Amino acid sequence: MNDSVSGPDRAVEGFRKVFGAEPEGVWAAPGRVNLIGEHTDYNDGFVMPLALPHTCLAAARARTDGVLRLHSGDAPGGVVELRVDDLAPVADDAGGDRGGWAAYPAGVVWALRDAGVLSGDGAGGADLHYTSTVPTGAGLSSSAALEVVTATALNELYGLGLEPMRIAQLCQRAENVFVGVPCGIMDQTASACCAEGHALFLDTREMALRQVPFDLAADGLRLLVVDTQVKHELGDGAYANRRASCEAGARALGVNALRDVAYEHLDEALGTLAGDEILVKRVRHVVTENHRVEEVIERLDAGATRSIGPVLTDGHASCRDDFEISCAELDLVVETANAAGALGARMTGGGFGGSAIVLVEEADAESVGKAVTEAFAAAGYRAPRIFPAVPSAGARRLA
């Protein structure tokens, strides 16, 4: 959907229908794909996402009575009404539902208040109506887009003066503490900070950003997203398990984070971990994945965009074999696409389903996509959704 034309109008119309008033504005925040750098962000490592043209929109209006009313045009159910003074994280041992989709924007309001950014009784009240073109459960950060668009809207409605990176950090805290998903900072940073026509290099320890030109069309290339339509939930414990393994590996090696294990000293580090096959695999993935991010940047800086293809494929093998977060559908995308002439392919996102990315010559995009679709049909899988990833802008006001 072209959110600069029909998106804001649809959001405004939905707001009027639900709340019976005019919104003060419409804001957008994008989903993302990660070009390279998987599960490295919570290890103080390197990542390289790019924003998608698919966005979560929020039509919003401030309230002065301390009431937060949330409505989604894409989720079942009516308006979720909360009092901002009552917002609090669910205890870790509470189990069960943490509030469904509304927990993400509610968590953002809680994080803004907990940080003292929104202060005073009832501060943060608002009416918010959401509509989104970011596929859910596809590993494209629909939750981060929801969080970031909420924070971006409140930032303007309340004149908070927050910079995009600060918005990303507060949204990550909302997801970690309020929602209970131990994600890293990449997804929220991508949604808040990406620039059109660029991939975003992020050093998650230093929180240093660099916009890396990534003009695929100029090079006659296309980056396809293949949504396998296999849904996953990062809150099911698998993500937390991988993070815990990485932290255990860092402790065993006597470092603050796996970022501190130099690629040149990887064999020595793995020797220290000999006997614990799981830690060996997890550490090897993170250290080599950080190195792959550096390789991709070096090749893009040299104008050798096509040569990143094999690096992407190597990254998938590492995600599959060492981090063990792939699945049969993702593996089939990568194998089929490469056999059909792709330059490289890999899973993207948290894993356990979701999406893969495929780098292709523009002239081969249709035939590679067709080969993947036919392979899914032959395997008895649901047809994948395939679309181009166009490096797009981060969060912004639309109307």
- The amino acid that residue 338 corresponds to is N
Using alpha carbons, select from 102, 7, 134 the residue that is nearest to residue 58.
7
The answer to whether 272 touches 252, Cβ cutoff 8 Å, is: yes
Give me the amino acid identity at 354.
G
- R_g of the chain, CA atoms, integer Å: 21
Beta strands in the chain (DSSP E): 25-36, 46-62, 67-72, 80-83, 126-132, 198-203, 208-213, 221-227, 344-348, 355-361, 385-388, 396-397
Phi, psi of 226 (to 5 degrees): -115, 105
Is 323 within 8 Å of 349 (Cβ atoms)?
A: no
* Backbone phi, psi, residue 91, to 5°: -60, 145
Q: Is 187 a catalytic residue?
A: yes
Question: Could you say which of 44, 127, 187, 322 is catalytic?
Answer: 187
Contact status, residue 195 vs residue 398, Cβ threshold 8 Å: no
What amino acid is encoded at 170 in this protein? L
Task: For residue 148, give the nearest of 87, 182, 200, 104 by alpha carbon.
Answer: 104
How far, in Å, CA of 353 to CA of 153, rounded? 31
Amino acid at 142: S
Cα atoms in the Cβ-side hemisphere of radius 13 Å centred on 104: 22
381 φ/ψ angles, rounded to the nearest 5 degrees: -90, 160
Query: How many Å apart are CA 106 and CA 81, to the nearest integer?
Result: 10
Checking DSSP bridges between strand 67-72 and strand 126-132, what pairing results, if any? parallel
In contact, 7 and 398? CB cutoff 8 Å: yes
What is the set of active-site residues? Answer: 187
